[in-house]
Amino acid sequence: MSSSSSAGVDAYVRDLKSIFEDTKDIVYLKDLNGTYLYMNPAGSRTMGRDGVGASDLDLFGSEVAAEILAIDHEIVASLHRHRTYVSVRKVGAQERVFYTSKSAQKRDGVWVISGVTRDITAQERIMRHPFDVQATSIAHKINNPLSYAIDGIQALLGLINDLQQLPDETRRQLLAHAETTAHGLNRIRDVVIDNLMPEQRRLPTPQPAPSTSARLKVLIVDDEHRRGRALKRSLGRHHDVSSVAGGAQAIVALKSFQFDVVVSDVVMPHVSGRELYEWIEANLPDMARRVIFMTGGAVTRELNAFIKKSSRSVLRKPFDPQELLAAIARAGRTLDDAG
């Protein structure tokens, strides 16, 4: 490539950067050998590495690289020098579905391929499994208010036990009614999980752990404000509990204060539980072992795979407060191990 040709391509790359750095779609420019001259941050994040200087062979392996190279040369040879197509590519351990629009241009005598690729994996899942997606959404909507009810009944049971002035017979009757209600609510939870959230049965389940008398500093992260407050009340008799309404607030809290255990919802707007966990891994690696996840049902296969890979405990909303106490006790034991 001559110096003048190279300068022309370089100028084109600079123009691309100024336009596409912040877009969520993958935007790239590459030569006919499959080497990427430019890839925007969205592309590098999707590929899990800096794409500039990498080749299709580096990113996808020999078989897929040969397929892409053939497509690129067909585009150059075609009349309109443009093509759109849908492809399935394995990126890391996950299969992703991409919609791609590519064009071939000649810049100072050099052919280059510019492309825009959109990750449509989620949309494809909705189209192929509409009932699964709808069922998960319904389950999530049921589980959050159901969690409030179960937490309320558990708090009521504790209150009844603490009221010393109650006559024994009155206490017995109140406890019987409350326990029957708790049993019914838990049965509703099981029906929801079994029929609308079968994937949840395959998530790691916290195992019973010995109770601990040590009071731990626990951070609850849940974008459902009432849920966070209910958990704070439920755990407050055993631990020092703070609650925040999302991942961004959790990061601020973790920068400012020291916590022993983090209990976080998985699906949250803006900064998700997964993104929060990845921030903790990068900035507070010792804390990563003491993260507990909660989920109300809206867990995709990708998130399910992430949770399993992380090996963190997962509580399915609505859950018995004793499950959470057991998970916190087990997480707290890692503090002793570290000491």
Domains of the chain with bracketed CATH: 3-126 (3.30.450.20), 129-338 (3.40.50.2300)
pLDDT tens-place values along the chain, 339 residues long: 555 556 666 666 666 666 778 788 899 999 999 999 999 998 998 888 899 999 999 998 898 899 999 999 999 988 778 888 888 888 777 788 889 999 998 888 889 999 999 988 776 665 555 545 555 556 566 666 666 666 666 666 667 766 767 787 877 777 777 777 766 766 766 666 565 555 554 444 444 444 445 788 999 998 877 777 777 877 888 888 888 888 888 899 898 888 999 998 888 778 888 888 889 988 988 888 889 988 765 556 666 777 777 778 888 776 777 788 888 888 888 776 655
Cis link prior to 318 (omega < 30° from 0)?
A: yes
Backbone CA torsion sign across 127, 128, 131, 136: negative
- For residue 208, what pLDDT is reported? 47
Strand partners of residue 91:
94
CB atoms within 10 A of CB 32: 15
- For residue 125, what pLDDT is reported? 60
Cβ atoms 291, 256 nearer than 8 A: no
The chain-wide mean pLDDT, for the chain, equals: 77
pLDDT tens digits, one per residue of 263-306: 988 887 788 888 888 899 889 888 888 899 887 655 566 667 77
- For residue 58, what pLDDT is reported? 92
- For residue 16, what pLDDT is reported? 60
- For residue 151, what pLDDT is reported? 66
* CA–CA separation, 276 and 313 (whole Å): 15
Strand partners of residue 38:
29
* CA–CA separation, 113 and 100 (whole Å): 12
Residue showing tokens 């319904």: 138
CA atoms within 13 A on the CB side of 28: 29
Nearest Cα residue to 292 out of 268, 316, 271, 257: 316
Residue 137's alpha-carbon distances to 76, 131, 192, in angstroms, are: 45, 10, 11
Q: What is the pTM of this model?
A: 0.46
- For residue 209, what pLDDT is reported? 46
